[in-house]
Amino acid sequence: MLKIASIACSLSLATSAALAQDRLPIDQEELARVSPVLQAYTKDDLFGRVWQDPALSKRDRGLVTVAALIARNQTDELSDYIRLALENGVTPAEISETITHLAFYAGWENAMAAVDEAADVFEDRNVSANQLPAVDPDTMLPLDEEAEASRQSFVQETYGNVSQGVVDNTEQLLFLDLWLRPGLEPRDRSLVTVAALIASGHVEQITFHLNRAMDNGLSKDEASAMLSHLAFYAGWPNVFSAMPVAKDVFESREG
């Protein structure tokens, strides 16, 4: 559908790609019966071009897409996208821990719906219990005590009087526990958090978490490519609402 050669040239990559057309997580026949135009955009642009763009690895695209669908509670093709993530290098442990993480960042029932889908995929692929993150890991990741003390004292001071329960659970469950679990690298934990925030329109929380993601190793080019990828799965408006925030974060880190 693209008219410009410099972009369209990447289309030629599509046929030889890992995302073979016969394995697209899309019902091609139904799509053809309702909208041949949308079928062409899906094949040529989304899978033929966006997913092939090396600015973000297919492995990361898999993780980002799964996070976006969980955050948006869109389970129709979630099992296909979990499979696609697994085929591109995401481990079952990482899928498991992403779902656990998003219980907190997207809502408990979003995670429960994702569990339903992942259970089928894990069963098909014979994922066993010892491939999953342990409830009590031998070692947790190291805590940046200074950063956490500063975060906690800000939140306590600002919101202790509003809901001490929220303040306590945020410290005890999220920052002294969930974020220190070794089942997902901090950079990936941040990646799925930011993807979920953009995909569900939580603009206010993007500044903190995009900064944290970049502190945890996400490059600016990867963040830019994630925005471009998410435009398709979260819709253009969610991405355009995130753009000014991302701009501020990028500029504040360059200055």
* Window 218 to 247, contacts with a copy of itself (CB under 8 A): 224-225, 227-228, 231-241, 243, 246-247
Q: Which is nearer to a copy of itself, 147 or 247 (CB)?
A: 247
For the CB of residue 55, give the shortest distance to a copy of itself in the complex, in Å.
Answer: 7
* Window 110 to 169, contacts with a copy of itself (CB under 8 A): 110-113, 115-116, 118-119, 122-123, 129, 132-135, 158-159, 161-166, 168-169
Q: Which is nearer to a copy of itself, 20 or 177 (CB)?
A: 177
Q: Which is nearer to a copy of itself, 174 or 187 (CB)?
A: 174
By the rule CB under 8 A, 97 interacts with a copy of itself: yes
By the rule CB under 8 A, 104 interacts with a copy of itself: yes
Find the angle CA(117)-CA(123)-CA(124) to the nearest 5 degrees: 95
| DSSP codes of every residue in 126-173 | T--GGGSPPSS-SSPPPP-HHHHHHHHHHHHHHHTTT-HHHHHHIIII
From CA 168, how far away is CA 179, in angstroms rounded?
15
* Window 32 to 91, contacts with a copy of itself (CB under 8 A): 32-42, 45-46, 53, 55, 69, 72-74, 76-77
For the CB of residue 59, give the shortest distance to a copy of itself in the complex, in Å.
Answer: 18
Find the angle CA(59)-CA(61)-CA(62) to the nearest 5 degrees: 65
Residue from 12, 150, 153, 172 touching a copy of itself (CB under 8 A): that is 172
For the CB of residue 194, give the shortest distance to a copy of itself in the complex, in Å.
Answer: 11
Q: Closest by alpha carbon to 134, among 107, 96, 99, 91?
A: 96
| Cβ(209)–Cβ(39) below 8 Å | no
Per rule CB under 8 A, count of chain residues that contact a copy of itself: 99
Query: Is 161 buried (19+), middle (13-18) or exposed (0-12) by CB count in 10 A?
Result: exposed
Q: Which is nearer to a copy of itself, 100 or 190 (CB)?
A: 100
Amino acid at site 117: E
From CA 95, how far away is CA 114, in angstroms rounded?
10
Token representation of residue 5: 């050669």
Residue from 11, 13, 103, 141 touching a copy of itself (CB under 8 A): that is 103
